[in-house]
Structure 1
Amino acid sequence: MEQGRAGVDFDSLDWLRRNSPAWRLLRADHAALVLSFLGRVFVEENIRSISAVELAGRLEDELFALNERFGEGTYPRTAKAYLDEWAQPDVGWLRKYYLPGSDQVHFDATPAVERALAWVQSLRARSFVGTESRLNIALELLRQMAFGAETNPDVRLAELRHRREELDAEIARVSAGEVDLLDPSAQRDRYQQFVTTARGLLGDFREVEANFRTLDRELRERIATWDRSKGELLDEVVGNRNDIAESDQGRSFHAFYDFLLSPRRQQEFSDLLARVQSLAAIGELDPRMRGIHYDWLDAAERTQATVRLLSEQLRRFLDDQVWLENRRVMDILRSVEIHALALRDHPMGDLGYEIDGVAPHVVLPMERPLYQIRAKQVLDSGSDADAAPPEVDVSALFEQVHVDPTRLREAVRAALSGGTQVSLPELLAKHPLEQGLAELVTYLSLDRDLTFELVFDERRQEHVRWHDADGRQREAILPAVAFVRRSLPGGE
């Protein structure tokens, strides 16, 4: 997509219509209330931070005046409800935050409010529209970009000599008494352009601050989702610790801030502004322009403080990350020490593992036999009537062991009649195994009973012994097993 056409692309405009807070504000039913109130507080008065109590009080007065004017119920909600709604993330007209060291909520307008307000103000009809000054500014910007990027010294020297010749010619004309004066329309044109630029700078500071917060959030997300080594993380963060200051937004801001901090530039600006304000051809003056450079300085200082605060928070965030990683390392070392002390008194023969083999069993593809066709077996389905029937030993059918689970359940219930639970060894001490391992397995499967439940404890082991039919002693090692009586509804 071409850069020049990106702003009028259908998909881009449709996305902005659905997601832009400024567009959402223009479509709101009470857009006039939001723009007039927030514009007066945060734009006209240049307030960059105000407590929730003070802002709610001012909004209450505004709502009372509007309800008196247009009828009770025009704006039925409280000021706090309106402010909370405007500060919702899906609305995005106010930024709600806490100042460092304060537990009181503060508000500041978002750049979306200034964008919407600037667009609404541009809809007003203007009696005078200057174009000459903007043309001169455009030409001067093109000249600065063209010759500012020129690497050929001869070309730059030729341009400087040309500008010197123009200055010498102008000096000669002024010395001869020929002074070119701006006519009143040209003065009003340039003053209008100055007011628009000066007011726009104040709005740009709020957007610059928001962009700094976005850069800080992106850096935090990169640190939080880091999945490589700690050394690489430190290299990444230390190598990019000046991401905010070295961004295009940061370099431009610091250049402007250095300009404001220059006493010589401030004095020059104050003198020029006083001289312009005294020109009679300008007519009605903008009252904000008398101290606009102080408003710039205040807004720039607030933005600079935000950058310092974000840098300090980022440093603490990294310190917390390092502290958590060091704590994890210490926990692992302490766990190793505890296990080592617990195994100190065990024989070394017990500390080992059994493996299936010391070498892998390798079967090469060519060692596998090839497919062989099986020989067909001839089946004789005929019967020999004279042949004697084969002898079959059916004694194995009568040697099957059947364990009656009902008898075992009755034994468990009888053992639980005197208590709430009974362990398997205690139960077998009263009712020894008569059918060996099959009876033991049946005990372990008695889990579907309404009067008791079977509980296994994997942390302990028990030994169960019995004698088989040949008189030999058998032993089974299994987790600790207990039968626990259930609490029946309406009973104990």
Structure 2
Amino acid sequence: MDLDEIDRLWERHPAWRLLRARNAPLILAFLGGVFVDENRGAVSAGELVSSLDDFLYAVHRIDPERYLADPAVYLDDWAASDAGWLRRFYPAASDEVHYEATPALERAYAWAQSLRSRAFVGTESRLQTAVDLLRQIVHGSETDVDHRIAEIERRRAAIESELAEARIGRFDTLDDTALRERYQQFAATARELLSDFREVEENFRGLDRSAREKIAGWEGGKGELLADLVSSRTDITASDQGRSFQAFYDLLLSEERQSELTGLLEAVQSLPQLSVDRRLRGVHYDWADAAERTQQTVRNLSEQLRRFLEDQVWVENRRVLDLVRAVEAAALAVRENPPRDVGLVVDQPGVPIALLFERPLYDPQPDVAVDSLPAPAELDAVELEGLLAQRFVDTERLAENIRAVVPLHTSVALDEIIALYPVEEGIAEVLGYLSLDGDGITVETTDEQMVIDYSDAGGAPRRVRMKRALVTRA
């Protein structure tokens, strides 16, 4: 790195600006503890303000004159464009502001952590890791079949020798120093993975943002933009970063690998020789959460493609309707005085145009027989009960009307009884007469017709035509 590049980073990089800020200890202590140590994604503004308020309360108990600004003001300053330590946004299906840490905050916090003195610095395990990586590079890129077979046989001979030694009880175990050294390397690698995910997510988010900007300002054809966006989506997947992330994501989602990681972490946490970090007990779940957030950022680009297509279809349909209305308006304007010469001469009064795919397929419709006239001779008792239930009819009063008019052992037509006692409850009262059966009163219908006049509940005159009913007192 030359002087100019370092000077630009010192002036413009958000991580370096954070280290130069006056309240850098507060930013690193609070935001690093919330987002980095706890591996949290987006946090709502209300929750983050409350946490910062509690943090400042603990600080003021020791030093009342330190960091006196309001917690919400601090968050707004840290999320400003000239700071870049927090990302402020509205997530989908939420009307509350959320905050998320940026890779700059992650880098600054990791650098501050690296300044702490370490009582133990392991080197042997890292040397073995470096040698193993070199072996993977060399043997993984080997294309000669004989060399590859020779390497596999060498590893098999070493495993068989180790297996034979183990069967007779001779094997080497790691001492306490080697255990602590390897655990230290594992913890550092696990935290670096979480930090890398945040940076990968930021890179993908930048690609998604550029796609949104391109869609918002596009004025060309739909096909050209789609080709460009699909190419961008393919570049994300085909890049080294995209392929590596996808391979890690597929490996992490393996049920077998999840079970193996859970068992190994539980075994490591139970070793008495190690001073374990309890935050690493479920680090593989933190990896999965961070990877899912990154994967969601990639999915947003596909969502933008879908929304763009829907918007374009609506715009094109609107344009077609505008053209049709313009043609109709022009036709109405010249309807009374059509132009004599429009610059087109044809032998026929019209040009028939019939496109093949405009012809609908034959769709035979079945004949439907509609019979909307019910049989007048059929009276359904259930329907009568339903009508009576809609409005209360005093059948006892109707029976008293019949007893007052009809002598014993005689029959009188129902329309004559209603002429003496007019209907008060509408058609339900007429049906009430027909439903009387018992207590010496029977109602029978004949083939003749009768007409009954009555008024409905609103006072409007009504008339019903029905079979003549004879009321008999036994």
Q: 1:209-261, CA deviations, whole angstroms, 9 ceiling, x for partnerless residues?
A: 21211121233344455565433333343455444333333322222222222
Structure 1 range deviating more: 36-45 or 211-220: 211-220
Tell me which residue corresponds to 2:101.
Answer: 109
8 A contact 1:52–1:107 mirrored in 2 = yes
Q: 2:120 matched to 1:128?
A: yes
8 A contact 1:41–1:47 mirrored in 2 = yes
AA aligned opposite 1:319: E
8 A contact 2:208–2:297 mirrored in 1 = no
8 A contact 2:215–2:308 mirrored in 1 = no
Q: 2:179 matched to 1:166?
A: no
8 A contact 1:220–1:314 mirrored in 2 = no
8 A contact 1:111–1:210 mirrored in 2 = yes
8 A contact 1:213–1:310 mirrored in 2 = no
SS of equivalent residue, structure 1 residue 281: coil
AA aligned opposite 1:294: Y
**Offset, 1:170:** 1.8
Change (3 A) 1:142 1:320: farther
Give me the whole-angstrom Cα distance separating, in 2, the residues matched to 1:14 and 1:41.
31
Q: 2:125 matched to 1:142?
A: no
SS of equivalent residue, structure 2 residue 121: coil
> Map of 1:328-347 to 2, 5 A cutoff?
328=319, 330-332=321-323, 334-335=325-326, 338-339=329-330, 342=333, 345=337, 347=339
- Select 2:289's aligned residue among 298, 301, 321: 298
> Map of 1:202-221 to 2, 5 A cutoff?
202-221=194-213
SS of equivalent residue, structure 2 residue 87: strand
Tell me which residue corresponds to 2:314.
Answer: 323
8 A contact 1:216–1:244 mirrored in 2 = no
Q: 2:303 matched to 1:312?
A: yes
AA aligned opposite 1:263: E
Structure 1 range deviating more: 260-269 or 192-201: 260-269
Unaligned 5+ residue runs, structure 2? Answer: 345-474
Give me the whole-angstrom Cα distance separating, in 1, the residues matched to 2:252 and 2:271.
25
Q: 2:49 matched to 1:23?
A: no
Give me the whole-angstrom Cα distance separating, in 1, the residues matched to 2:338 and 2:230.
48
Give me the whole-angstrom Cα distance separating, in 2, the residues matched to 1:314 and 1:40.
37
Q: 1:164-199, CA deviations, whole angstroms, 9 ceiling, x for partnerless residues?
A: 222222222223432122222111110000000111
State the aligned residue count. 343
Give me the whole-angstrom Cα distance separating, in 2, the residues matched to 1:215 and 1:102.
23
TM-score by length of 2: 0.66
SS of equivalent residue, structure 1 residue 190: helix
AA aligned opposite 1:26: L
Q: 2:36 matched to 1:43?
A: yes
Change (3 A) 1:15 1:245: same
- Select 1:62's aligned residue among 47, 55, 63: 55
**Offset, 1:317:** 3.1
SS of equivalent residue, structure 1 residue 108: strand
8 A contact 1:130–1:189 mirrored in 2 = yes
> Map of 1:254-403 to 2, 5 A cutoff?
254-282=246-274, 284-328=275-319, 330-332=321-323, 334-335=325-326, 338-339=329-330, 342=333, 345=337, 347-348=339-340
AA aligned opposite 1:237: L
AA aligned opposite 2:189: T
**Offset, 1:203:** 1.9
AA aligned opposite 2:28: L
Give me the whole-angstrom Cα distance separating, in 1, the residues matched to 2:196 and 2:308.
29
Tell me which residue corresponds to 1:9.
Answer: 2
8 A contact 2:32–2:109 mirrored in 1 = yes
SS of equivalent residue, structure 2 residue 273: helix
8 A contact 2:229–2:305 mirrored in 1 = no
- Select 1:88's aligned residue among 80, 99, 109: 80
Tell me which residue corresponds to 1:448.
Answer: none
Q: 1:17-64, CA deviations, whole angstroms, 9 ceiling, x for partnerless residues?
A: 122111111110000000000011112222212110111111122223
Q: 1:371-401, CA deviations, whole angstroms, 9 ceiling, x for partnerless residues?
A: xxxxxxxxxxxxxxxxxxxxxxxxxxxxxxx
> Map of 1:176-187 to 2, 5 A cutoff?
176-187=168-179
8 A contact 2:200–2:294 mirrored in 1 = yes
AA aligned opposite 1:295: D
Unaligned 5+ residue runs, structure 1? Answer: 1-7, 353-492
AA aligned opposite 1:66: V
Tell me which residue corresponds to 2:428.
Answer: none
Give me the whole-angstrom Cα distance separating, in 1, the residues matched to 2:10 and 2:327.
59
SS of equivalent residue, structure 2 residue 142: coil
Q: How high is the sequence identity, in percent, across the aligned residues?
A: 57
Give me the whole-angstrom Cα distance separating, in 1, the residues matched to 2:221 and 2:302.
23
**Offset, 1:332:** 4.8
SS of equivalent residue, structure 1 residue 95: strand
Change (3 A) 1:350 1:296: closer
AA aligned opposite 1:36: A
8 A contact 1:86–1:94 mirrored in 2 = yes
SS of equivalent residue, structure 1 residue 280: coil
Larger RCO (CA under 8 A, 6+ residues apart): 2
Give me the whole-angstrom Cα distance separating, in 2, the residues matched to 1:170 and 1:187.
20
Change (3 A) 1:201 1:168: same
SS of equivalent residue, structure 1 residue 143: helix
8 A contact 1:173–1:179 mirrored in 2 = yes
8 A contact 1:26–1:116 mirrored in 2 = yes
